[in-house]
Amino acid sequence: MALDLVIRGGTVATAEQTFRADVGIADERIAEIGAGLNARRVIDASGKLILPGGIDSHCHIEQLSSMGVMTADDFYSATVSAAHGGTTTVIPFCAQHRADNLRTVLADYHERARTKAVIDYGFHLIIANPDEPTLREHLPEAIRSGVRSFKIFMTYERTRLHDEQILDVMAAARKHGALVMVHAENHGMISWLAGRMVKQGNTLPRYHAICHTRGSEAEAIQRVTALAELVDCPILIVHVSTIDGIEAIRQARARGLKVFGETCPQYLFLTAKDIDIGMQGALFCCSPPPRDEAAQEACWRGLKDGTLHVYSSDHAPYGPEGKLPKGEKTTFKEMANGVPGLELRLPLLFAFGVGAGRITLQEFVNLTATRHAQAYGLYPRKGTIAVGSDADIAIWDPEKTVTVEQTHDRTGYTPYKGRRLKGWPVTVLSRGEVIVEDGKLSAERGRGKFLVREPSEALRPLGRDVPEMAQLKGWKTPLEL
């Protein structure tokens, strides 16, 4: 076979192994892996690492928040930023608000991404209104179209679902073959504390972290796990931040339940101290908030032992106008929640994970690419370097040192400014096309493709009922409802 491009002389790393080889590319895919390959174009990767392009399965792009604030990034700026950081696939959210028709929401996001994205993308759905048309018609349609995951909230007044609604969504996911992602925080605990804080005049950003108490995460994870067990629905808890939350997932998994966890850069590299700097602390506020050094260590352990299955950015790029809409008079309840992280997700983990000996190179690939592809129905098309896979590749220079000043998103700031990072993706390919080289972008708007995702074998339901329910006369399993 005639090859279009060969990456020569580098060290290939997958989730299973590391080895020296050339990688040959033809027709957008990896065609050969071996020695002495030749092509019309050759990239010399001597002394460099050849890794699968990253997959960021948790990011908010061109999304209107429940408070009515639009993210600073659209699908062009966000995917450009992702590409510069070695990420070649994103799966952002299509956000349904209470009054929205899900069909209209999905069509709208398709149109936003189609002409702007420079890398490939899929979609999750945010379900805020699980009414009869949504559950019976619109969700099954979306799943058949390749959108095989959706997110529910247990907090935020405008998006949270009650337990009965959560069970309805889980039953639909179980029946039609989709994964449920959960923002797990106890709404009552947070709102009760927040109301009293504001009444007492405690409105600085630091009180956001205090109100999103650690116990609210653990309680919500335990509760939603019990709900998932009732209908035998695999779930993934997003942005896990606490010691007790990680332990709740660990215990559920020890009982054989399909409960998976995710964490993000802000829980490994930021703490509550970053928020406690007056009004500028708003730039570091997200939900859940960064915790303390002990929680950071727990997150590292969770990544290492597999309790935390994936590492995502939760990129939520709100600029100063969203963070401080009333200037110095903004209360913590009025700030847009979220921090940018799409571009620096991989370099941070490489420098402070692989570089510091906390994780191996294979674990890095697994946490940033392979498990995302497996969990969300993209493997082996994405997430690995193998013959037949899409040629989504990041060539890393493990010796290149970068001091973070600014990123390519439109947020206007980064919470990681000043960090010195060793290891950087110097060349990035998407489906065999070099889209970033030596810090320069060469990708055209709209070249990214929508990814139709398959059912995830890794997250297939266990196939069992709760014994008490199965004994009831006439009981129908969630698949029969």
Q: What is the pLDDT of residues 10-52, one digit of tens each?
A: 999 999 999 999 999 999 999 999 999 999 999 999 999 999 9
Q: What is the pLDDT of residue 67?
A: 82
Q: Give the residue ranges of DSSP H helices in 21-125.
A: 75-84, 102-114
> Which residue do the tokens 């390959």 mark?
37
CA-CA distances (angstroms) from residue 330 to 202, 281, 282, 325? 12, 12, 9, 6
Q: What is the pLDDT of residue 476?
A: 67
Query: From CA 7, how far away is CA 92, in angstroms rounded?
Result: 30
Query: From CA 306, how far away is CA 362, in angstroms rounded?
Result: 13
Residues 6 or more apart in contact with residue 360 via CB below 8 angstroms: 354
pLDDT at 458 over 90: no
Q: What is the pLDDT of residue 467?
A: 65
Q: What is the pLDDT of residue 230?
A: 93
Query: From CA 149, how far away is CA 377, in angstroms rounded?
Result: 9
Phi, psi of 382 (to 5 degrees): -120, 165
pLDDT at 456 over 90: no
> Closest by alpha carbon to 48, among 83, 86, 22, 9?
9
Where are the CATH 2.30.40.10 domain residues in the chain? 5-51+385-400+409-441
**Contact status, residue 158 vs residue 99, Cβ threshold 8 Å:** no
Query: From CA 478, how far away is CA 167, in angstroms rounded?
Result: 10
Query: From CA 266, how far away is CA 342, in angstroms rounded?
Result: 11
The percent helix, strand, coil of the chain (3-state, each to 5) is: 35, 25, 40
**Contact status, residue 61 vs residue 92, Cβ threshold 8 Å:** yes
**Contact status, residue 365 vs residue 51, Cβ threshold 8 Å:** yes
One-letter amino acid of 143: I
Convert the pLDDT of each residue in 288-338 to its tens digit: 999 999 999 999 999 999 999 999 999 999 998 899 999 999 999 999 999
Residues 6 or more apart in contact with residue 299 via CB below 8 angstroms: 240, 241, 246, 263, 267, 268, 308
For a pLDDT cut of 90, what percent of the chain falls above it? 92
The interaxial angle of helices 214-231 and 163-176, nearest 10 deg, is: 50
Phi, psi of 202 (to 5 degrees): -90, 90
pLDDT at 218 over 90: yes
Convert the pLDDT of each residue in 369-422 to its tens digit: 999 999 999 999 999 999 999 999 999 999 999 999 999 999 999 999 999 999
348: helix, strand or coil: helix
pLDDT at 153 over 70: yes
80: helix, strand or coil: helix
One-letter amino acid of 209: A
For a pLDDT cut of 70, what percent of the chain falls above it? 96
DSSP strand E in 35-74: where? 41-44, 49-52, 54-59
Please compute the mean of the pLDDT values over residues 199-207 and round it to a whole number.
Answer: 96
Q: What is the pLDDT of residue 471?
A: 65
Pick the CATH number of 5-51+385-400+409-441 from 3.10.20.30, 2.30.40.10, 2.60.40.2470, 3.30.300.30: 2.30.40.10
Where are the CATH 3.20.20.140 domain residues in the chain? 54-379+453-459
Size of the chain, expressed as the number of residues it contains: 481
* Structure-token pair, residue 403: 């001091």
Convert the pLDDT of each residue in 3-13 to its tens digit: 999 999 999 99
Least confident window among 84-98, 129-143, 458-472:
458-472
Pick the CATH number of 54-379+453-459 from 3.40.30.10, 3.30.70.1450, 3.20.20.70, 3.20.20.140: 3.20.20.140
Query: From CA 129, how far away is CA 138, in angstroms rounded?
Result: 11
For the chain, give the mean pLDDT. 95
Convert the pLDDT of each residue in 49-68 to its tens digit: 999 999 999 999 999 888 88
**Contact status, residue 320 vs residue 270, Cβ threshold 8 Å:** no
Q: What is the pLDDT of residue 468?
A: 67
Instruction: Give 288's Cβ-side CA count (13 Å radius).
Output: 35
pLDDT at 477 over 90: no
Q: What is the DSSP letter of 119?
A: S
Please compute the mean of the pLDDT values over residues 86-105 and round it to a whole number.
Answer: 96
